[in-house]
């Protein structure tokens, strides 16, 4: 059973789905937030999971990341899951957790990296969007994809409507992808996601 730490900044609905879906392949042993009062922290506490707040204000990226790294290592975390964590991590941190660090992004990567995804998808009149779970590499949202799920985009969609539709599939996708990683069914090898 892999010891998993989840990093959040906000409401933590993905954290909630990861907590609810935990099986014998992983256990969430710690939730870290850079924001004190993030709603997701309450979800963790309600489930009896230890939480730590590491504020980022007034720190360089390297100092903040080193603090997070220390908390993760002190807790013996084996895998690190980003779930609505709104900080870019330094190359050093990412390299230190290479192959053991994953993120979920609300688009069908490699399309629509970065922010304001749903606005851009609607603007481009796409008929399909979705969510991707990927290994984190130093380049933003560019890591090898582990799993994806798609949703239709309707001409009448607002960004919020599309965001809600994508979020609903994220809640099944993220636990599924984490289970693949935790049970050794997918690995990062020479920059590729390799499936057993």
Residues 125-154 contacting ligand GRF, CB under 6 A: 131
Residue nearest to ligand GRF (CB): 84
> What six digits make up the tokens of 191?
């920059």
How far, CA to CA in Å, does 114 sit from each of 28, 166, 194? Answer: 27, 16, 25
> What six digits make up the tokens of 104?
């979920």
> How far is 9 from 12, CA to CA, in rounded Å?
8
Catalytic residue at 105? yes
Nearer to ligand GRF, 40 or 175 (CB): 40
Query: Which residues does residue 30 pair with via DSSP β-bridges, in sequence order?
Result: 5
Nearer to ligand GRF, 14 or 129 (CB): 14
Taking CB under 6 A as the criterion, the residue among 170, 173, 175, 186 binding ligand GRF is 170
The least CB distance from residue 39 to ligand GRF, in Å, is 8
Burial 43-65 (b: 16+ CB within 10 A, else e): bbeeeebebbebebeeeeeeebb
Stretch that binds ligand GRF, among 49-57, 59-67, 104-112, 134-142 (CB under 6 A): 104-112
> How far is 41 from 32, CA to CA, in rounded Å?
8
Rg (CA), the chain: 16
Of 167, 84, 156, whose CA–CA distance to 129 is shortest?
167
Nearer to ligand GRF, 2 or 105 (CB): 105
Residues 7-26 contacting ligand GRF, CB under 6 A: 10-15
Nearer to ligand GRF, 77 or 104 (CB): 104
Taking CB under 6 A as the criterion, the residue among 35, 41, 89, 167 binding ligand GRF is 167
Residues that bind ligand GRF in the complex, under the rule CB under 6 A: 10-15, 40, 83-84, 104-106, 131, 167, 170
Catalytic residues: 105
């Amino acid at each position: 059973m892999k010891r998993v730490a989840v990093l959040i900044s906000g409401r933590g609905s993905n954290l909630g789905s990861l907590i609810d879906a935990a099986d014998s392949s992983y256990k969430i042993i710690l939730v870290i937030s850079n924001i004190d009062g993030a709603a997701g922290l309450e979800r963790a506490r309600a489930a009896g999971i230890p939480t730590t707040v590491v504020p980022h204000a007034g720190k360089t990226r390297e100092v903040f990341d080193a603090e997070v790294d220390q908390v993760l290592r002190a807790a013996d975390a084996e895998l690190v899951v980003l779930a609505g964590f709104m900080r870019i991590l330094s190359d050093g941190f990412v390299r230190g957790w290479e192959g053991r660090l994953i993120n979920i992004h609300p688009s069908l990567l490699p399309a629509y990296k970065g922010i304001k995804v749903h606005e851009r998808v609607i603007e481009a009149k796409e008929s399909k969007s979705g969510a991707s779970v990927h290994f984190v590499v130093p380049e933003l949202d560019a890591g090898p994809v582990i799993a994806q799920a798609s949703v239709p985009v309707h001409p009448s969609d607002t960004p919020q409507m599309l965001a809600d539709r994508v979020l609903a599939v994220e809640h099944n996708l993220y636990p599924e992808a984490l289970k693949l990683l935790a049970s050794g069914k997918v690995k990062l090898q020479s920059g590729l996601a390799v499936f057993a």
